[in-house]
Structure 1
Amino acid sequence: MSDELQPVADTEPIKDPGLAEHQFRPQDVDEAQAKRTERQIAWMFRVAGLLFLGFCFAYFLIDIDDTFLGWSAQNFAFGMTLGGGLLLVGVGIIQWAKKLMGDHEMVEMRHPSASSDEDRVAVMKDINAGIEESGFGRRPMIRNSLLGSMALLGLPAVVLLRDLGPLPHGQRETVWKKGMRLVNDVTGTPIKPSDMQVGQLVNGQPAVVYETDADGEPVLHGTELLQVKSKASIIVVRMRPEDVTPSKGRENWGVDGILCFSKICTHVGCPISLWEQQTHHLLCPCHQSTFDLGDNGKVIFGPAHRPLPQLPLGVDDEGYLIAMSDFPEIVAPSYPELARDQKKLDNKS
C-alpha cells in the first residue's frame, strides 16, 4: 500500500445527525400565548427601570446612619433596588431568548479557519436572519421597555459618582473654635505644654470628638464624626523657640515652641505625620510633598502649592492647649476655585 493519504470519498454531512424531532413551543403555535409572554417580559423590564429609579431615591432619602434589622438601611435599599433591577433584566432577556427567539436546530460542517467570501456573506445573512428571528424589530414592546430600563440603569452610576466625596466648596470651616482643647488622637486626653518634648509630634483632634452627652453617648458619631475628623485632624509639634520663624501676625500662634498644623495635605488631602525633627520638615507619604513647620508650614518640595494651614494656639486656665480660632486657611486639597474661596473667607473674617 502507498504511504500517501488517500482522498476522502465522501465529504458531505450525514443525512441524519441524530437530532430529535423539533418540539414547537406554545409561543410558536399560539399567538395569544406569544403576546402574553411578550407582555410579561416587557413588565420585567419596566419594573427593573423603576427599581433603578428607586436606587436614586434611596440614595437621597435614606440617611446613611439609618438601620434596618441591624443592617445599614441605605445599603439594604441599594442591594434590593439595583440587584433586583439587574435580576429582572437578566431574567427577562433569558425568557425572551428561550420563549420568543428562534430555536431551530442547526448542523454545520467543520471548515477551514479562513472563510471564503461566500461563507462570510452567508454568515452575515445568518446574523441578519437571527436578528429578524429575535423579534427585536417586530416586538417594539419588549425592545422599547428593555432600552428604557437600560437607559435608567445609567442613573445609579451617575448618582454614585457623587459618593466619591463632597465637592470642596463648603469646606471652609471646621469645628475648631476659640477655647476648644486639643486632645491626643489615641487617648482623647487634653494636651499640656509640659507633656511635650522638643522634637516630639502628636496626632490630635478637637475635644468635641471625644465629648459625650448626659447619657454617656458620644456627641458625634457615624458619618458626622468621620467628616469632622477628616477636616479637623491636626498634628502638634514642639521645637526650640529659636528655630521657629513666624510670619507677620503669627508671632503669638505658638506656645513655647509648640505649633499646630492641619494633618491634611494641601495637594490631594492625604493624612501626613512623617516628621523629621532635626530639619523640622513634615513629609506627605503619598506624593512626597514636604513642608517646613519651622517656617509657617511652607512647601519646600513636591507637588503641593499651598502651605499647611496653621491653627493658632493658646493655654486655658487649667494649663491645657486650646485653639484661639478656627483655621484661617481653607483645609482641603487644592482645587481650581480655591483662591477665589480663600479670598471670600479672608473678606468674611
Structure 2
Amino acid sequence: MAHEDDPLEHERASWKPSAGLAVAVSDPVRPPDLPSHRSRITDKDPAAMTRAVRTVYTLFYLSVAASVWAVAAYMIFPIESGRIVDVRNNNLFVGLGIALALLALGIGAIHWSKAVMSDKEFIEPRHATRGRDSTREAAVKAFSEANEDSGFGRRAMIRNSLIAAVVASVVPGITLFRGLAPQNSPSNPFAGDPVHLLSHTMWKEGTRLARDPEGTPIRASEVTLGSAFHVIPEDLAELGHEEGYLEEKAKAIVLLMRLLPEQLIETEERKSWSYDGIVAYSKVCTHVGCPVALYEQQTHHLLCPCHQSQFDVTRGAAVIFGPAARPLPQLPIAVDSEGYLIAQSDFNEPVGPSFWERH
C-alpha cells in the first residue's frame, strides 16, 4: 500500500489532460486554405483569348506541315539510291520533320490546356464505383462538362487542327515502312521478295575468307584455338558504297572460330563443312537480324546482344536459349593450295530473321 505522503501518488491523482491535447485528439486535421483564384489574362481580355486560340491551331497546322515535309523528304532523298549523301539527307530531314511535328503538337496541346481551357478550380469527392444507371449518367455529364470546359466541341479551328495534326503525325511512320524491302521492277523482279534476297550472298565456291573490315585473306594457321574472326568475302572490298556494298556486307558477314575437332558434333552432311575444327557461321541472328558477335570460348556459345539468343557452336549453332527460332546458317569452308580459307559455296539456306515466309 502506498504511503499517504508519497509524492508520486499525489502527482497521479492531480494529473489531467491539457485542453490543447484534447483539441488535437478530438478535432480532425483541416487542410490549409487554398489561395484565392487568380484569373488569367485570357479570361480577362477577349483579344488575348483570340490570340491564344490562334496560336494553338497555328501550332497544330505547323505539325501537319512538318509531317508532310517528313514524307516529302523521304521521297526527295531516296535511300534506295545507295548514295551516302542521300542516306544522310534522308535521315536528317525525315528526322527533323518528325521531331518538329511532334514538338509542335505537344506545345500546342500544352498551350491549349494552360491558356484556353477552363481555369475553374473544383473539388471532386470520392465515391464508390458503381455500374448503375446513375453512374453512367454521371459519366456522360462529366464528359459533357469536360467538353464544355475544354471548348473542344465549340472551338472548331482547334478541334479540326488537332485532329489533322494527330492523323498527319502517323503518316511519316507509315511511309518509312516502304523502305523495309525494295519494290519489284522489270529489271529486278525479285527485288521485293525477301526470301530471294536473303537466299543469295556474295559467297561462292573459291571465295577467300577475309578479315572485316580490312579485307585481308585469312590462313587456316592464323586461326588459333578459342579465337574468333569477323569475316567478309574478299571480293566485297572491290564494291563501292554506291554498288550495294553495305547491303551485300549485311548479308555475307560471318563469324569464324576454331575448336578441337573432337568437340564438334556434326551431322554426316556437314562433316565436310569445317576444316580441322574451324567453323564459320552467319553473324545475322535468326530472330530479327541483329549481329551475333559475342563468343564465349569456354562454353563455345554465341550470344546475340539484342535479345539474348544463344547458339551452341559445337552443335551446328543450334539455339539453346532465347527467342531465335532456328540455328545460324553455316558457311561450308575449305583450304586452298596456299593455305587460305575459302568458301565451298554460298549458304545452303536464307540468312537472317525467321519471320519471312520460307520455302
TM-score by length of 1: 0.63
Question: What is the deviation of 1:182?
Answer: 0.6
Q: 2:230 — aligned with what?
A: 203
Q: Distance in 2 between matches of 1:249 and 1:240?
A: 19
Seen in structure 2, the aligned counterparts of structure 1 residues 310 and 80 have a Cα distance that, compared at 3 Å, is closer
Alignment of 1:200-239 (within 5 A): 200-209=227-236, 211=237, 219-220=240-241, 225-238=245-258
2:203 maps to 1:176: yes
Alignment of 1:51-130 (within 5 A): 51-63=66-78, 66-67=84-85, 72-93=88-109, 96=112, 101=117, 128-129=144-145
Residues 32-89 of structure 1: CA distance to partner in whole angstroms, max 9, x if unpaired? x94x876665454234223213223434542456549xx9423331343223223433
Of stretches 162-171 and 193-202 in structure 1, the one that deviates more from structure 2 is 162-171
Residues 112-168 of structure 1: CA distance to partner in whole angstroms, max 9, x if unpaired? 97689xxxx999979845632543222323312211211222233445677899996
Unaligned runs of 5+ in 2: 1-17, 25-32, 129-136, 183-192
1:176 alignment partner, SS class: coil
Q: Distance in 2 between matches of 1:273 and 1:114?
A: 56
Contact 2:64 2:164 (C-alpha < 8 Å) held by counterparts: yes
Contact 1:290 1:302 (C-alpha < 8 Å) held by counterparts: no
Q: 1:292 — aligned with what?
A: 314
Seen in structure 2, the aligned counterparts of structure 1 residues 256 and 21 have a Cα distance that, compared at 3 Å, is closer
The letter for the 2-side match of 1:196 is V
Identity %: 34
2:198 alignment partner, SS class: coil
Q: Distance in 2 between matches of 1:323 and 1:276?
A: 23
Alignment of 1:1-349 (within 5 A): 24-27=44-47, 34=50, 41-63=56-78, 66-67=84-85, 72-93=88-109, 96=112, 101=117, 128-129=144-145, 131-132=147-148, 134-159=150-175, 169=195, 170-185=197-212, 188-197=215-224, 200-209=227-236, 211=237, 219-220=240-241, 225-238=245-258, 247=267, 250=270, 252-267=272-287, 269=289, 271-272=292-293, 274=295, 276=297, 281-284=300-303, 286-292=308-314, 297=316, 299=318, 301-302=320-321, 306-316=326-336, 318-335=338-355, 337-338=357-358, 340=359
1:331 alignment partner, SS class: coil
The letter for the 2-side match of 1:271 is V
**How many residues are treated as equivalent by the alignment?**
308
Over the residues paired in the alignment, what is the CA RMSD in angstroms? 5.0
Seen in structure 2, the aligned counterparts of structure 1 residues 199 and 18 have a Cα distance that, compared at 3 Å, is closer
2:210 alignment partner, SS class: strand
Q: Distance in 2 between matches of 1:320 and 1:259?
A: 14
Contact 1:235 1:273 (C-alpha < 8 Å) held by counterparts: no
1:204 alignment partner, SS class: strand
Seen in structure 2, the aligned counterparts of structure 1 residues 93 and 202 have a Cα distance that, compared at 3 Å, is closer
The letter for the 2-side match of 1:137 is G
Q: Which has the higher helix share?
A: 2
Residues 211-263 of structure 1: CA distance to partner in whole angstroms, max 9, x if unpaired? 25xxxxx72489x5554444322233445667767655556544455443323
Q: Distance in 1 between matches of 2:64 and 2:124?
A: 45
Contact 1:66 1:74 (C-alpha < 8 Å) held by counterparts: no
